[in-house]
Amino acid sequence: MGKMATREAYGRTLQEIGADEKIVVFDADLAGSTNTGRFKKDFPERFFDMGIAEANMVACAAGMATCGKTAFVSSFAMFATERACEQIRNSVCYPRLNVKVCASHAGITVGEDGASHQCLEDLSIMRSLPNMTVLCPADAASARMAVKAAYENDGPFYVRLARLATDSVYGEFGEDVDFTLGKAHMVKDGTDVTIIACGYMVEQAVEALNILESEGISARLLDMHTIKPIDKEAIIKASNDTGCIVTCEEHSIIGGLGSAVAEVLVENAPCPMLRVGVKDEFGRSGTPGELMAYYHLTGADIADKAKQAIALKNK
């Protein structure tokens, strides 16, 4: 299976669905990086480069949506969600318009661009907005299905995309994989601990499964590609079946996947739970591999957390 970044899968999927004349695409002078340039090449009359003006971009997309268009807007996650937060809130989510914010270069694997470009707060911001659906696909195949789900369902969507090419978890780009909006995908079943991951961290969690299996530990892995609405049923079942949970996200541990899972557990099925993610700090400049190790987000780190969770369960 080849590597492909989810941002590239996004661009290819826009090409795939672009024949629908209701689709319009907006970008903030980053079409080469976000991969919306593919849509621009095929459908230039429905592509709008708004320059470095994300707030205006979102407002214009909202206006198009009031006229019956399906609007996709793209920039780096840092700028799409934080420069344009007020417009996403008031112009998109409040009137529940059909705008899809598909933001690339999320998380620390942006790498050498450093803290100013490494968005670690976007999931927290977007999941707090009423009417917003939040997706964080793991690989190219699931990114394709996530973008198609956003296209096929009315209303505001946030799709988190990565710069770094990742291994295939589901299959090759172009395949229709097992992706159901709002439902976690069980990558592997297990009985001793459940690992719940999203985005690039699913690849790292697969590595953790191999480590744990070599030590005789049976781990369940759930890809929680839909952060909102989160799959409460799968979380509650995981708590009841395995007795402890580890969440993994390339995001701050405040407000993201870990927080969403904890909210479900505390109200429905409390169990020992530990979080793998960036602590309350900004990113740094470095290669993706260096940063994953520095922030303790590797497969080995996840495996260690899983063993700690099991120890807490057994106390």
The catalytically annotated residue of 8, 54, 203, 250 is 54
Q: How far apart are CA 228 and CA 128, in angstroms?
A: 9
Strand partners, 135: 159, 226
236/262 Cα distance (integer angstroms): 11
d(CA 122, CA 192): 32
Is 86 part of the annotated catalytic residue set? Answer: no
HEC sequence for the chain: CCCEEHHHHHHHHHHHHCCCCCEEEEECCCHHHHCCHHHHHHCHHHEEECCCCHHHHHHHHHHHHHCCCEEEEECEHHHHHHCCHHHHHHHHHCCCCCEEEEEECECHHHHHHCCCCCECCHHHHHHCCCCCEEECCCCHHHHHHHHHHHHHCCCCEEEECCCCEECCCCCCCCCCCCCECCECEEEECCCCEEEEECCCHHHHHHHHHHHHHHCCCCEEEEECCEEECCCHHHHHHHHHHHCCEEEEEEEECCCCHHHHHHHHHHHHCCCCEEEEEECCCCCCCCCHHHHHHHCCCCHHHHHHHHHHHHHHHHC
Distance separating alpha carbons of residues 207 and 194, to the nearest angstrom: 14
Q: What is the CA radius of gyration of the chain?
A: 19
Tell me which residues are annotated as active site: 54
